[in-house]
Amino acid sequence: MIDHLGINCADLAAATAFYDRVLGVLGHRRLMDFGTAVGYGTRKPDFWVGTFDGVGPNRETHIAFAAPDAAHVRAFFAAALEAGAEALHEPRFWPEYHEHYYGAFVRDPDGNNVEAVCHTAQEGD
């Protein structure tokens, strides 16, 4: 995962429903819920989604979540599409980053660019 990142959202219920689903396939879960902020991770909250009165629109954020292998990147992408995300880039190798970089990108309910990435993928995975 990452240490740590927080974003604001317009609709906390929609955002947490999305992240419950897509992070679940990567082995992460809700660890803390304060009502206006929810923390996700495996051992500690690494990623936070929150809202507050008058949050208003914000800029797109890019978030890359670690995946253990290419199969999990594909599972993340499928779960995201099932949750209503917009596909930005289907799962594939990105050799311009490095030889084993395998990632997929979607747009979440608030317009953020969300990626799942594996840095150890091999051709044929």
Res. 37: pLDDT tops 60: yes
Q: For the ranges 4-8, 21-25, 57-61, which has the lowest average pLDDT?
A: 57-61
Percent of the chain with pLDDT over 70: 96
Secondary structure string (H, E, C) spanning the chain: CCCCEEEECCCHHHHHHHHHHHHHCCCCEEEEECCCEEEEECCCEEEEEECCCCCCCCCCCEEEEECCCHHHHHHHHHHHHHCCCEEEEEEEECCCCCCCCEEEEEECCCCCEEEEEECCCCCCC
Res. 3: pLDDT tops 70: no
- CA–CA gap between residue 124 and residue 84 (Å, rounded): 28
Strands 37-41 and 29-33: antiparallel
pLDDT tens for 85-111 read 999 999 999 999 999 999 999 999 988
> Which residue ranges form the domains of the chain, and what is each CATH number?
5-41+60-118 (3.10.180.10)
Res. 59: pLDDT tops 60: yes
Contacts of 34 (CB under 8 A, 6+ apart): none
Q: For the ranges 19-23, 55-59, 82-86, which has the lowest average pLDDT?
A: 55-59
pLDDT, position 57 = 65
Q: Which of 2-16, 48-62, 105-119 has the highest mean pLDDT?
A: 105-119
